[in-house]
Structure 1
């Protein structure tokens, strides 16, 4: 009898599989006919260029504290197995699996388009979230420098920006972040998922190490850049037991506000995550998914506004209580809706000054 072959995940990647995206007109199913070799596929990172028509993405979700964002890249080399953005690769006829980690798209005209959009008559500034769908400081940013170009424009326009990252490359841009911070135009949120190096390696293979992320918090804080920590995602029986300790060490490193998100498994991510559990945590996989479903109304995922970030049920309620108690004990501030950023300084270069 034939069965699906198992492929172990190559070192440095989040998954070995490439499931069909949900828009594909046909489906392919691998099976083991006795000749298959259990050798994980190797895949070098491929970067494609995109000429974007627009780079400002509008958001109307009440679950997040921003209404616009900029994402320099599609796909993310960090390879986080749980990434909620993986399904977005289906819109480009690619798989949310290993394609998402290796077949990346860079918006090479980002600087030009961003400057044009910020210069439009009647544009009203609000904080731009930089790197929401995929990390703006993933490894390819080292050569592409699209994120740095965006920061240069935002500094020139005096436009507020909130950065979300788990990459240590953000420290490269201290020369831009410091003058932005001096004008209350920037804040940085560092995503901290675990303090266990081995868990980080299999869960977020090409993201910065836990110690490197704490160094980012410390360095930015000492430089006067406001920093917060985002414990996300919290995964039942995998990393949720680390919540209080992560909040503690982040506070010691300089974080002054904090947030968390319960694991989200939209569309194809559920399949990828289940495969990952079976490979790395086979003895607790069923328990993990049971707790996930208990927190999502019996399903792998509940996309409803108001519950998709926190979940519901006993486990989700307990997690929320633990987070709130830890924040009170550690002296974390309540996060401001606009991240404490100043929108009144906005001044497009060449704009005529008011005569009043």
Structure 2
């Protein structure tokens, strides 16, 4: 690893230009030299939390490639810093870069619980699983301070409404009390993202995430408390974690996971430039190989937006990855599966309490 040029604790190493802006900022060498001579920091590398005030919190998901119809994101941007994150592009809509800004400018929606409650009370709303973290992780470090996710879970419990969670943070265990209550009525499903069993790989791919040991422990604790867990082996990146599919599947099954899911990495929009810059700085010896193998999975390009193929890829390498996942399911998840969430109770709890008549 070329540690001299790596910004510690961050995934992205640059702020790429926002495609919606005509102008862009550049960190010039003469400015960096001036800071060095003056003993000043050119970049303080601090995370800022910025409150925003959306009018709605639940989004209808139009993509046919993801297994969700509705999602909600109580934070925009994510301090976890996963270099491959598809959500980076969405930060451009808020006026920021998909690079370092995505990790250091976290938008906080404190009104999320109130907005969620207003939606669930509507007569026109029919229960359907809502996924927390369809875009950014609802248990990222900001949640420890703001507790917005916990407050939203309290709303789901009050109205007996099904909810699913996607996270890679062990902070979810803090809310075990609410999750257990939701699970009594089959109203909760949890998806834990685990991309590698190697701490070295995790640190470079996902610099501010929970350790692998803690994530495995989280799968075990949730499972032992009757909360169904699916593990996301996502994304699979050729020559970085593609060799770990079977070992990952085996261990998460032993820790209690009921199923696994996967995607093959795709580097859409600004992520292609961010990832390319990152891999040449962190893995220079294998950068060309990894980039070419990713391209081979997506018709010769890093930027694959084709519905139907973008998540699973194509070509020999993608076929090998998909076949390995199929084998892992047959070998380690036979007669296992995630239960369907209960959508029958909510109508009786439209007002937050059981209707007797």
Q: CA RMSD in A?
A: 2.0
Q: CA deviation at 1:331?
A: 2.3
| Residues 1-356 of structure 1: pairs in structure 2 closer than 5 A | 8-32=5-29, 36=33, 41-332=43-334, 340-346=340-346, 347-349=349-351, 353=355, 355=357
1:141 is displaced (CA, Å) by 0.1
Q: Secondary structure at the match of 1:243?
A: helix
Secondary structure, aligned partner of 1:218: helix
- Following superposition, the deviation at residue 52 of structure 1 comes to 1.5
8 Å CA contact 2:231, 2:260 repeated in 1: yes
Q: Distance in 1 between matches of 2:60 and 2:174?
A: 28
Structure 1 unmatched ranges of 5 or more:
1-5
- Deviations along 1:91-120, one digit per CA (max 9) or x if unpaired, are 111111111101110111011110001111
Distance, in Å, in 2 between the alignment partners of 1:95 and 1:311 is: 27
Q: Deviations over 1:117-150 (max 9, x none)?
A: 1111121111111112000000110110000011
Q: Structure 2 CA distance, aligned partners of 1:47 and 1:249? A: 36
Deviation of 1:13 after TM superposition, in Å, equals 1.3
Alignment partners' CA distance in 2, 1:13 and 1:180: 35
Q: How many residues align?
A: 348
* Structure number with higher helix proportion: 2
Change over 3 Å in CA distance of 1:220–1:231 after alignment to 2? same
Hey, what's the Cα distance between the residues in 1 that align with 2:318 and 2:17? 31
1:190-234 Cα distance to aligned partner (Å, 9 max, x none): 000111111111110111010000000000001111111110010
The alpha-carbon deviation at position 350 of structure 1 amounts to 5.3
For structure 2, list consecutive stretches of 5 or more residues without a partner in the other structure.
none
Closer, same or farther: CA 173–25 of 1 in aligned 2, 3 Å? same
Q: Displacement of 1:63 after TM fit?
A: 1.3
User: Would the aligned equivalents of 2:219 and 2:256 in 1 still touch at CA under 8 Å?
Assistant: yes
SS of 1:162's equivalent in the other structure is: strand
Instruction: State the partner residue of 1:3.
Output: none
Q: Is the 8 A contact 2:159 2:353 kept in 1?
A: no
**Distance across 2 between alignment mates of 1:127 and 1:35:** 50
Change (3 A) 1:189 1:353: same
Q: Judge conservation of contact 1:9–1:40 (CA < 8 Å) in 2.
A: no
- In structure 2, the CA distance between the partners of 1:67 and 1:35, relative to structure 1 (3 Å rule), is closer
Distance in 1 (alpha carbons) for counterparts of 2:258 and 2:265: 23
1:350/1:137 Cα in 2 relative to 1: closer, same or farther (>3 Å)? closer
Larger CA deviation: 9-18 vs 134-143: 9-18
TM-score (norm: length of structure 1): 0.93
Contact 1:258 1:332 in 2 (8 A): no
2:189 partner SS: strand
